[in-house]
Amino acid sequence: MIKVAPSLLAADYLKIGEDIRRVAEAGADWLHFDVMDGSFVPNVSFGPEMCRRAATCGLPVDAHLMVVKPEKHIETFAAAGAKIITVHAEATVHLHRCLQQIRAAGCMAGVALNPATSHEALRYVLGDFDLALVMTVNPGFGGQKLIPACIDKVAAVRRMLDDAGLNAIVEVDGGVNLDTAPRLVAAGADMLVAGSALYGAKDVAAFIRGVRGEN
């Protein structure tokens, strides 16, 4: 079963509550919540208070921390209601400890990889995460085009998990639309983040079904 996580980054911030309810009613599985610090990525986005409000919508909040030293913010986002917390392998010196910290905070632990980072970054933490997030664009902005080379990485991550007998979620983020989704799913993705294409769709429920391959 392919799951879909709308990215709040592409919502209308003047009616964000309505935009969360809309995607929940359309059948979204998680709410993808992008946290940017202006340092790990050039952009700045949402903080913990917005997370706390978004978490009241009922969908599990999937917090994607694009921040340096994410270990400083894990308990804050867990307390703000995030159910999944994903940190970038490039953003922390102590990835293993960070993943343990996320699980100790009661959340699912995710590792994100920038486009230029090898899937091998996951090798020695296999079993310590519940989700691998393959970035298919450079993090920081919505509305970018998917980088095709990253599709091979999705397949490499899935293979690595299969070989280890693990069934962690393989999430992809960036440039997901009705055209790219089937290729990502074929490569082994089972959780698709979609921002601009989803919020820009006339019929969000049909878009979600389309991304899942149900249309």
How many residues sit close enough to ligand DX5 to count as binding (CB under 6 A)? Answer: 22
Judged by phi (left if over 0) then psi (alpha if -120 to 50, else beta), residue 3 lies in: beta
Catalytic residue (choose from 19, 29, 34, 128) = 34
> What residue 100 binds from Zn ion, ligand DX5, none (CB within 5 to 8 A, per partner kind)?
none
- Check residue 150 for interaction with ligand DX5 (CB under 6 A): no
Q: Out of 194, 201, 204, 208, which residue is the one contacting ligand DX5 (CB under 6 A)?
A: 194
Separation between Cα atoms, residue 100 and residue 111, nearest integer Å: 12
**Stretch of 51-59, 135-143, 184-192, 203-211 contacting ligand DX5, by CB under 6 A:** 135-143
CA 5 remoteness from chain centre: 7
Nearer to ligand DX5, 27 or 126 (CB): 27
Q: Out of 29, 34, 37, 62, which residue is the one contacting Zn ion (CB under 5 A)?
A: 34
Kindly calculate the radius of gyration of the chain based on its CA atoms and give it in whole angstroms: 16
The residue number with the shortest CB distance to ligand DX5 is: 195
Q: Which of residues 52-71 bind Zn ion (CB under 5 A)?
A: 64
Count the neighbouring beta carbons within 10 Å of the beta carbon of residue 55.
20
- Check residue 171 for interaction with ligand DX5 (CB under 6 A): no
Separation between Cα atoms, residue 203 and residue 215, nearest integer Å: 12
All residues at 6 or more sequence positions from 106 whose CB lies less than 8 Å from its CB, including other chains: 78
Binding residues (CB under 5 A) for Zn ion: these are 34, 64, 173
